[in-house]
């Protein structure tokens, strides 16, 4: 009787194993991190939480030993990475998947924990985790294949605080036999997802489920699938130095309910029909320019509930001369479009230190947003006198001149800012608008700015500036 029961249990376990995928292979290890709840962000990244669950389940079916972690602080990410490194054996296949906020600084990509305190650019390297450093450590621990899948190209709440930034993620220098894919192009961002799952991960899961397709081809197919689905508006970035060929999924590892429709098959190229002569081109109808509606300013209750503002307010209450806390709170108020409160904080900071060029620049930017233009111009000029290399002040002064109707001066300020930071979506969009208002085209600058930051037009609408020309 016991023998029969044992055989029955053995058979049941075998069936369940076939459903869930093959047993974890200690030479295939994965760390999956989904950071969805950033206190500094206004919304929870629902897609990040759901995507990490789906990716973990798929990797387990493909034989990976997966450590899945959500909403990690800096200490939590450090511990998770240390455990990950400790599981790497010589020749192992090591994979990291990160979904959350990433940021670039000094041409490096950093993955951010949920408790990152990013106020200035040096804070990025202090609180973030460098992707190149992670790959290098995987390599030094003996990983034979290094894989990084990063879905972190979102506009995040930190970049606006120091305003001298490049949107999106930076290129990464990889060790030998590595492959890295970002969810969109270098220096570009995607809008915060309104769906429960991201398009990038949907395409990724479809492709890595395909049996006997190399990993490099699966990730290339992922890239191409996103490009097709978005009509080339989102183009993932892929870099590979793979010398080993392997597949995420072998034919025998798929659950029995897989359907042929779930798999991507190569198709014979379709025969092209002879092209008909193009009709005579006609002038396109005049397009109506529809300016986006700016975001509504927050109410007093919303500001009171903001955890970052509340924390800084406590610090200011404990020490009224804490200029650093006032400066930070002013930045948060300005980002939230609470301009009167931001002005009060920047006034206090400048009263404590009249030569604070950064505070003068931020007050210039705030005054420009509310239309106090002549006084804003004086603030920007003073900031540039104190610090001629302050690129952000050139960008702010460009906005002031643009709103004053001084398009020539605005174009020069924006061009000088772009020369120092070619990836500034704010300066590119501003220069494009100024060019249009001066009678030129400006479309290339505006299109490039929008490709880097899909929300840039709405941001400028909040300043009272649109790309529409009467």
Cα distance between residue 206 and residue 261, in whole Å: 10
Inter-residue contact 365 to 460 (CB < 8 Å) = no
Quick: pLDDT tens for 339-356.
999 999 999 999 999 999
Inter-residue contact 417 to 391 (CB < 8 Å) = yes
Cα distance between residue 63 and residue 21, in whole Å: 7
Structural domains in the chain, sorted by start: 16-262 (3.40.50.1460)
pTM passes above 0.85: no
Top pLDDT among 163 and 328 is at 328
Inter-residue contact 368 to 403 (CB < 8 Å) = yes
Inter-residue contact 298 to 336 (CB < 8 Å) = yes
| Percent with pLDDT over 90 in the chain | 43
Residue 159 has pLDDT above 80, yes or no: no
Q: Determine the pLDDT at residue 107.
A: 79
In terms of Cα–Cα distance, which of 90, 186, 76 is closest to 139?
90
Q: Determine the pLDDT at residue 122.
A: 82
Q: Which residues contact 374 (CB under 8 A, 6 or more apart)?
A: none
Q: Is the dihedral of CA 258, 262, 268, 271 positive or negative?
A: positive
Cα distance between residue 253 and residue 267, in whole Å: 24
What is the DSSP pairing of strand 102-105 with strand 93-99? unpaired
Quick: pLDDT tens for 55-113.
999 999 999 999 999 999 999 999 999 999 999 999 999 999 999 999 888 778 999 99
Inter-residue contact 179 to 146 (CB < 8 Å) = yes
């Amino acid at each position: 009787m016991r023998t029969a029961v044992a055989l029955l249990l053995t058979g049941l376990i075998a069936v369940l194993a076939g459903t869930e995928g093959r047993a974890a292979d200690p030479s295939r290890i994965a760390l999956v991190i989904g950071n969805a709840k950033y206190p500094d962000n206004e919304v929870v990244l629902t897609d990040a939480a759901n995507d990490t669950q789906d990716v973990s389940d798929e990797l387990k079916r493909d034989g990976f030993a997966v450590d899945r972690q959500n909403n990690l602080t800096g200490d939590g990410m450090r511990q998770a990475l240390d455990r990950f490194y400790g599981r790497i054996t010589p020749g192992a296949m090591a994979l990291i998947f990160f979904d959350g906020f990433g940021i670039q600084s000094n041409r490096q990509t950093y993955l951010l924990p949920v408790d990152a305190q990013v106020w200035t650019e040096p804070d990025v390297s202090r609180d973030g985790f460098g992707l190149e450093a992670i790959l290098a450590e995987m390599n030094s621990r003996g990983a034979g294949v290094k894989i990084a899948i990063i879905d972190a190209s979102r506009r995040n709440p930190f970049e606006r605080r120091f305003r001298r930034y490049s949107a999106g993620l930076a290129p990464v220098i990889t060790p030998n036999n590595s492959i890295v894919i970002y969810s969109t192009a270098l220096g570009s961002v995607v809008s915060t997802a309104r769906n429960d799952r991201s398009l990038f991960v949907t395409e990724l899961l479809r492709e890595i489920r395909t049996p006997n397709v190399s990993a490099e081809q699966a990730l290339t197919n992922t890239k191409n699938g996103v490009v097709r689905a978005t009509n080339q508006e989102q183009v993932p970035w892929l870099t590979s130095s793979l010398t080993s060929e392997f597949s995420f999924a072998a034919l025998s590892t798929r659950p029995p309910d897989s359907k042929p429709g779930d798999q991507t098959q190569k198709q014979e190229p379709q025969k092209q029909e002879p092209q008909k002569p193009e009709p005579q081109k006609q002038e396109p109808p005049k397009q109506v320019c529809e300016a986006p509606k700016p975001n509504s300013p927050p109410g007093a209750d919303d500001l009171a509930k903001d955890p970052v503002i509340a924390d800084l307010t406590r610090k200011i209450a404990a020490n009224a001369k804490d200029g650093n806390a006032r400066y930070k709170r002013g930045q948060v108020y300005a980002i939230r479009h609470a301009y009167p409160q931001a002005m009060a904080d920047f006034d206090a900071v400048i009263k404590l230190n009249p030569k604070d060029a950064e505070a003068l620049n931020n007050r210039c930017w705030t005054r420009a947003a509310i239309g106090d233009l002549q006084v804003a111009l004086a603030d920007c000029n003073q900031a540039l006198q104190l610090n001629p290399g302050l690129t952000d002040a050139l960008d702010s002064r460009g906005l002031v001149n643009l709103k004053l109707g001084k398009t020539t001066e605005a174009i020069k300020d924006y061009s000088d800012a772009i020369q120092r930071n070619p990836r500034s979506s704010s300066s590119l969009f501003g220069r494009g608008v100024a060019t249009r208002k001066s009678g030129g085209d400006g479309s290339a600058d505006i299109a490039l700015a929008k490709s880097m930051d899909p929300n840039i037009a709405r941001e400028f609408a909040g300043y009272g500036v649109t790309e529409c020309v009467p």
